[in-house]
């Protein structure tokens, strides 16, 4: 994708303790002209120094760093680069890591199984102010939210659920279980593109910006 006329590329700092992964990620994202890799770091201390010096727009942070968990480094990195959107990019599917990252101020939690195009799209969505969570982690976020006040607190929503069509209701409940678009399409025997359209309608009808918030609405509705 090329940048639009007059728009600056999104400046990215990658923090990961594996040099080969950093180089591979840099090469992958370099194919997207709307993104610019401005630096990388292998540990939390180096990351904090580079974040302060480079002031990136987005920080991609692994959770497994030498001597410290990435989620524990989030506050210092955001303090070093105020205004940056920090996205965890990790292999950890631990719900407590997800909850800790969001409580600390991370704008997203992505698994390293994500493909390049989806990662680029997630970065752009984060820059628009959306929270981005891998589909596989949505159900775990809802579980962490149900655990009590220590969990993350997504934006509350009204419950105009009665205005949803039966199909939209089915898809909303599936999102609440943590199902991906592909899984929902297979379960309901419809095209994945149709699921995506329904999800967009749900976002608009329920006035939220992410499927994470849709899942939380389901959780809150079921609790009443």
Calpha distance 161→78 (Å, rounded):
37
For the entire predicted model, the pTM comes to: 0.65
Q: What's the Cα-to-Cα distance from 175 to each of 20, 68, 190, 196, 204, rounded to whole Å? A: 35, 33, 15, 12, 15
Look up residue 8 and give its DSSP letter: P
Kind plus residue range of the DSSP H or E element containing 110: strand 108-111
Average pLDDT estimate for 209-216: 78
What phi and psi values does residue 152 have, to the nearest 5 degrees? -65, 155
pLDDT tens, position by position, 11-38: 999 999 999 999 999 888 888 999 999 9
Query: Tens digits of per-residue pLDDT, 88-124?
Result: 999 888 888 888 888 888 999 999 888 888 899 999 9
Of the pLDDT bands very low, low, confident and very high (cuts 50, 70, 90), residue 206 is: confident
Instruction: Count how many Cα atoms sit within 13 Å of the Cα of residue 213 in the half-sphere of its side chain.
Output: 21
Q: Identify whether the C-beta of residue 140 lies closer than 8 Å to the C-beta of residue 98.
A: yes
Tens digit of each residue's pLDDT (9 = 90 or more) over 44-78: 999 999 999 999 999 999 998 888 889 999 999 99
- DSSP bridge pairs for 129: none
pLDDT of residue 89: 94
CB count in 10 Å sphere of residue 194: 15
**Token representation of residue 91:** 């292999």
According to the model, what pLDDT value does residue 115 have?
85
Q: Summarize pLDDT for 135-190 with one digit per residue, the tens.
A: 878 777 766 655 554 444 444 444 457 677 888 889 988 888 888 889 999 999 98
- Cα gap 16→186, rounded to integer Å: 35
- pLDDT of 4 higher than 80: no
Domains of the chain: 10-133 (3.40.50.2300), 154-223 (1.10.10.10)
Sign of the alpha-carbon torsion through 156, 162, 165, 169: positive
H-type alpha helices, the chain: 19-29, 44-54, 70-80, 95-104, 116-127, 135-146, 166-176, 181-188, 192-205, 211-223
How high is the pLDDT of residue 126? 92
Mean pLDDT of the chain: 84
Cα–Cα distances (Å) from 92 to 111, 136, 140, 213, in that order, read 7, 11, 12, 21
Q: Please name which of 170, 184, 90 lies closest in space to residue 137, comparing C-alpha atoms.
A: 90
In this structure, what DSSP letter does residue 66 have?
Answer: T
Query: Tens of pLDDT along 32-46?
Result: 999 999 999 999 999
Model pLDDT, residue 120: 93
């Amino acid at each position: 994708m090329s940048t639009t006329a007059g728009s600056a590329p999104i400046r990215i700092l990658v923090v990961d303790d594996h040099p080969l992964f950093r180089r591979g990620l840099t090469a992958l994202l370099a194919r997207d002209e709307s993104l610019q890799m401005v630096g990388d770091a292998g540990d939390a201390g180096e990351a904090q120094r580079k974040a302060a010096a480079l002031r990136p727009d987005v920080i991609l942070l692994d959770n497994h760093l030498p001597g410290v968990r990435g989620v524990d480094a989030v506050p210092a990195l955001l303090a070093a680069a105020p205004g940056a959107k920090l996205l965890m990019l990790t292999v950890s599917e631990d719900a407590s890591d997800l909850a800790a990252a969001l409580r600390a101020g991370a704008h997203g939690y992505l698994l390293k199984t994500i493909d390049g195009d989806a990662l680029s799209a997630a970065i752009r969505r984060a820059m628009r102010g959306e929270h981005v969570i891998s589909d596989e982690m949505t159900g775990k976020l809802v579980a962490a939210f149900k655990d009590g006040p220590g969990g993350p607190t997504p934006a509350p929503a009204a419950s105009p659920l009665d205005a949803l069509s039966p199909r939209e209701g089915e898809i909303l409940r599936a999102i609440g279980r943590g199902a991906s678009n592909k899984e929902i399409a297979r379960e309901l025997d419809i095209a994945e593109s149709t699921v995506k359209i329904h999800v967009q309608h749900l976002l608009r009808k329920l006035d939220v910006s992410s499927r994470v918030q849709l899942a939380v609405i389901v959780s809150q509705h079921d609790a009443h």
